[in-house]
């Protein structure tokens, strides 16, 4: 059996060469999107990050363990701001400045505890759920089909009624995330206690079974104060599984966070807030068709509409540009989006860690279309990032 192995890998960068056994290589290759493996001199393997952060424990075919510490390029404070930003929320800076931990997982648990505590301070959300059961009295409506199947005594009565309950999708998602965060490795004892107390407040709420997808919820006026906590909870719950190339998600022993998804969500929230006062609606992940027959669908990150008509399209790229122009395939992608949507201006939005973040226009030859590349400096103080 191979010995247990602990690897610390940066999210980006050239990677580090390690001497790996065949079993260890097989375990890492089994999840191709987790890290990038390339042969290195001396019979070693170079292990590079792949835009994911967290802590994952894998089992090799022989039964030994590989523990991967995937560390972000951004400072923890900056990453937490991307996760927690909520427009017009006077509290949204507080969790970031308060989180001083250098490790991601304890900081994430602390962030969820603070966000959920503010959410539940306004009271546990209740809603109506249709319930069917047999009772010794009539409540709501008699379930006629079930009742006529009964033989003998007429009691109990099969009834159907609307129950005002806390066991609704919003609370089930939040409860699942609180339990997950309470079991993340390395969290501080005070944070653990807060998470447990918050979970206890959701009395009567059923926690989704491990491995099952969380329930879906629809934003409404009534659950608006839950939205920041729910968005964070869904991101945390998505980190419980890993997706082999071309396969279905499988449970992960640990936690994994995909930074392109975090960056995309942050840009969607901030741009939606910025454009709303101008009568512009931002629609994330709308499905459109590239060809007239409708056989080639595409799903842009963000389409901007005014009076129901598309006026621009934005694609967020969690890539740190080093060249003077975007890669050609990025320009091709936006050119296709603009052509199919019938608009003349599209935008590429990149992450950056350098002060030089001036936008650059790329006028497409023999076409009326212009594509502007922007770079959002993620090392700026959070308020400055939003203003850009």
Q: What is the token pair recorded at 235? A: 């991101």
Q: Rounded to an integer, what distance in angstroms lies between the CA atom of residue 339 and that of residue 322?
A: 27
Is the peptide bond prior to 156 cis by the omega test (within 30 degrees of 0)?
yes
pLDDT on residue 375: 87
- Residue pair 68/56 in contact (Cβ under 8 Å)? The answer is yes
Q: Which residues contact 116 (CB under 8 A, 6 or more apart)?
A: 174, 177, 178, 195, 198, 229, 233
| Cα atoms in the 13 Å half-sphere on the side-chain side of 45 | 18
SS (H, E, C) the chain: CCCCEEEEEECCCCCEEECCCHHHHHHHHCCCCCCEEEEEHHHEEEEECCCEEEEEEEECCCCCEEEEEEECCCCHHHHHHHHHCCCCCCCCCHHHHHCCCCCHHHHHHHHHHHHHHHHHHCCCCCEEEEEEEEECCCCCEECHHHHHCCCCCCCCEEEEEEEEECCCHHHHHHHHHHHHHHCCCCCCHHHHHHHHHHHHHCCCCCCCCCCCCCCCCCCCCCCHHHHHHHHHHHHHHHCCEECCCCCCCEECEEEEEEHHHHHHHHHHHHHHHHHHHHCEEEEECCCEECCCCCCCEECCCEEEEECCEEEEEEEEEEEECCCCCCCHHHHHHHHHHHHHHCCCEEEEEEEECCCCCCCEEEECCCCCCEEEEEEEECCCCHHHHHHC
What pLDDT sits at residue 323? 64
pLDDT of residue 356: 59
Q: Domains of the chain: which residue ranges? A: 5-71, 77-125+167-238, 127-165, 279-387
How far apart are the C-alpha atoms of 382 and 10, rounded to whole Å? 23
Matching residue, tokens 């079993």 = 23
Rg value, the chain, Cα = 25
Q: What is the pLDDT along the chain (388 residues), one digit of tens a residue?
A: 567 899 999 988 889 999 999 989 988 888 878 899 999 999 899 999 998 888 888 888 888 888 889 998 888 888 888 887 766 554 444 444 434 445 788 888 888 999 999 999 989 999 877 666 665 555 555 555 655 555 554 656 565 656 678 999 999 999 999 998 998 888 889 999 999 999 999 998 988 877 677 888 988 888 988 988 998 898 888 776 565 544 555 445 667 888 888 888 888 888 888 898 999 999 998 899 999 998 999 999 999 999 999 999 999 998 876 667 889 999 999 999 999 999 999 999 998 766 656 888 999 999 999 999 998 887 765 545 445 4
What is the pLDDT at residue 98?
A: 39
Q: Which residue has the tokens 């966070």?
A: 257
The domain made up of 279-387 has a fold known as Trna Endonuclease; Chain: A, domain 1 (3.40.1350)
Predicted pLDDT of residue 245: 47
Report the predicted TM-score, pTM, of the whole model to 2 decimal places: 0.73
| 211 token code pair | 């491995």
Tally the C-alpha atoms within 13 A of residue 17's C-alpha that lie toward its C-beta.
6
């Amino acid at each position: 059996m191979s010995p247990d192995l602990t690897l610390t890998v940066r999210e980006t960068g050239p990677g580090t060469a390690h001497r790996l056994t065949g079993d260890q290589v097989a375990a890492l290759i089994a999840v191709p999107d987790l890290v990038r493996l390339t042969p290195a001199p001396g019979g070693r393997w170079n292990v590079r990050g792949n835009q994911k952060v967290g802590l994952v424990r894998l089992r090799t075919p022989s039964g030994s363990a590989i523990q991967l510490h995937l560390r972000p390029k951004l400072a923890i404070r900056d990453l937490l701001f991307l996760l927690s930003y909520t427009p017009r929320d006077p509290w949204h800076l507080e969790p970031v400045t308060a989180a001083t931990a250098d490790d991601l997982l304890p900081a994430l648990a602390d962030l969820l505890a603070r966000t959920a505590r503010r959410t539940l301070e306004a009271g546990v959300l209740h809603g109506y759920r249709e319930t069917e059961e047999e009772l010794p009295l009539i409540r709501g409506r008699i379930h006629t089909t079930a009742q006529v199947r009964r033989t003998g005594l007429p009691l109990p009565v099969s009834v159907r009624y609307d129950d005002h309950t806390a066991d609704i999708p919003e609370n089930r998602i939040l409860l699942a995330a609180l339990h997950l965060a309470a079991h993340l490795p390395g969290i501080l004892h005070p944070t653990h206690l807060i998470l447990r107390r918050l979970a206890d407040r959701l009395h009567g709420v059923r926690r989704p079974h491990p491995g099952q997808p969380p329930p879906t919820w629809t934003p409404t006026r009534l659950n608006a104060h839950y939205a920041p906590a729910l968005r964070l909870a869904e991101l945390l719950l998505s980190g419980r599984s890993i997706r082999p190339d071309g396969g279905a998600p499988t449970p992960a022993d640990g936690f994994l966070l995909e930074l392109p998804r975090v960056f995309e969500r942050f840009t969607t929230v901030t741009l939606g807030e910025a454009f709303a006062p101008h009568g512009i609606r931002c629609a994330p992940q709308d499905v459109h068709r590239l060809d007239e027959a409708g056989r080639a669908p595409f799903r842009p990150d963000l389409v901007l509409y005014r009076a129901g008509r598309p006026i621009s399209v934005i694609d967020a790229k969690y890539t740190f540009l080093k060249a003077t122009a975007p890669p050609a395939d990025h320009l091709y992608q936006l050119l296709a989006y603009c052509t199919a949507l019938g608009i003349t201006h599209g935008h590429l939005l990149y992450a950056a860690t350098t002060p030089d973040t001036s936008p650059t226009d790329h006028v497409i030859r023999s076409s009326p279309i212009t594509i502007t590349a922007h770079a959002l400096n993620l090392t700026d103080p959070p308020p400055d990032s939003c203003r850009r």
